[in-house]
Amino acid sequence: MKIFLNYILSIGITVTAAISAQAQRVFIPADEQQLAQIDSNTLKWRNKLFPAVSQGDLNIYGFEETDAPIYADSVYAYRLALLESEVPMDYNEYVRPYIDLYTIRRRKLSANMLAWSQYYFPQFEQALDREKMPMELKYLAVIESALNPSATSPVGAAGMWQFMAPTGRMYGLKTTQHYDERRDVAKSTDAAIKYLRNSYRIYGDWLLVIASYNCGPGNVNKAIKRAGGVKNFWAVQHYLPRETRGYVPAFIAAAYMMNYASEHNIYPNQELNVYRHMDTVLVDNSYSLNQLALKLNMSVNELKEYNPALRRGVIPFSNEKIALTLPYNKAMAFTNANADSGFKTEMNNEVIALNKEIQRENQSRKATIQYKVRRGEQLASIASKYDVTVKDIKKWNNLKSNKVKAGQRLKIKSNQA
């Protein structure tokens, strides 16, 4: 939740000069290598899942393949107003650069996100509707993770909604050596909605709620105080951290792009052949991924791609059934196999052996390092990075408080050290 679109902040953004009211056709050359590699891990993961699709039927405006239409400010303002959103979709000079970013400089990523949204947005909308929350909040996942449930930020925030481990725990998301609920799309979505709902009770302004999701309530409260107590994002904007000043405009721009992509000659560039035929099965037993993959004629990598919350080679036993996402035909095969007591016994024996192996591996990998605290880091982010607790770090270093400073050296004992 703390880090937002490093690829946005890593480039210089300038406001486009005045543009005529008529759409202009701009030829966009092949992206530079830096622009094309926004998130290579994400793109590789997605490209395995979704084959390319023809865009001919979607191009209702007759654009040439290389056209990248741009419009006057009044057009963008009018289109945003048409959304009739419960979350204010204000248009101004802060929003325009991010619209340009999505529709000109990041066209390939925008096309990918349009495709992924066809699978994830219905899930978000169902959860938002259940809690009577604005549907537009689904766009928060666009700027948090580019709709990638496997995303991990440099400071350890993880999943579609980018929860740090301590914040995730506050909202019921558990992280174990086997399973990270921050990467569980359904559970992390419910947690994000709880956070947003609680924030709205405090601020009563959706844009401030969105700002709080990025920089935390402490920074928002300070900005409100410095602005004279007014609870309005645009009134307190300049008192917020630099990243958050761009976070809300980027959210509005993401909402614009997801609704008006075709007006910019951008279309879902990958057909959801796999996810259109996905199903979810509830697992009430522990399974070895190797054995399960063999049984279902799948690869372990496929199982992990469809289920990014799985961290190791085991589906862990849980008091709550774990939802496993599989292609429909594989889900049917799993259901049939799961009814076989012999299969369960075989899997249990495999899991016991694998767990012993993991324990031995953990012991052999455990090491102690001297960690140098970087500027802006806190114990919570360091603990999340090494999959330990703040309490552990304080114990190892005889710390009485949670405060650390840049340059300070900490002793860390972790399997990830």
Confidence of residue 7 (pLDDT cuts 50, 70, 90): very low
Residues 113 and 259 in one domain: yes
Residues 384 and 342 in one domain: no
Contact 196, 132 (CB under 8 A): no
The least confident of 30-34, 224-228, 361-365 is: 30-34
Confidence at residue 54, expressed as pLDDT on a 0 to 100 scale: 56
226 part of a folded domain:
yes
**Per-residue pLDDT tens digits for 216-269:** 999 999 999 999 999 999 999 999 999 999 999 999 999 999 999 999 999 997
Q: What is the pTM (predicted TM-score) of this model?
A: 0.74
**Higher-scoring residue by pLDDT: 69, 364:** 69
Distance from C-alpha of 127 to C-alpha of 120, rounded to nearest angstrom: 11
Q: Say which residues have a Cβ less than 8 Å from residue 151's Cβ, sequence separation at least 6.
A: 39, 42, 144, 145, 158, 159, 160, 162
Residues 355 and 371 in one domain: no
271 part of a folded domain:
no
Residues 245 and 393 in one domain: no
251 part of a folded domain:
yes
Last residue of a domain, one of 340, 364, 388: 364
Confidence at residue 2, expressed as pLDDT on a 0 to 100 scale: 53
Environment class of residue 60 by beta-carbon count within 10 Å: exposed (0-12), middle (13-18) or buried (19+)? exposed
Query: How would you classify the pairing of strands 322-327 and 314-315?
Result: unpaired
Query: How would you classify the pairing of strands 287-288 and 314-315?
Result: antiparallel
250 part of a folded domain:
yes
270 part of a folded domain:
no
Domains of the chain: total: 3
Confidence at residue 284, expressed as pLDDT on a 0 to 100 scale: 78
Residues 177 and 39 in one domain: yes
Contact 276, 95 (CB under 8 A): no
Residues 360 and 370 in one domain: no
Q: What residues does 414 pair with on adjacent strands?
A: 367
For 299, other C-beta atoms within 10 Å of its C-beta total 12
Distance from C-alpha of 294 to C-alpha of 274, rounded to nearest angstrom: 19
Q: Could you tell me the residue range of the domain that residue 124 belongs to? A: 6-264
CATH code, domain with 406:
3.10.350.10
Asked if the model's pLDDT at residue 169 lies above 50, the reply is yes
Distance from C-alpha of 166 to C-alpha of 156, rounded to nearest angstrom: 11
Residues 259 and 315 in one domain: no
Residues 188 and 233 in one domain: yes
Residues 142 and 226 in one domain: yes
Asked if the model's pLDDT at residue 30 lies above 50, the reply is no
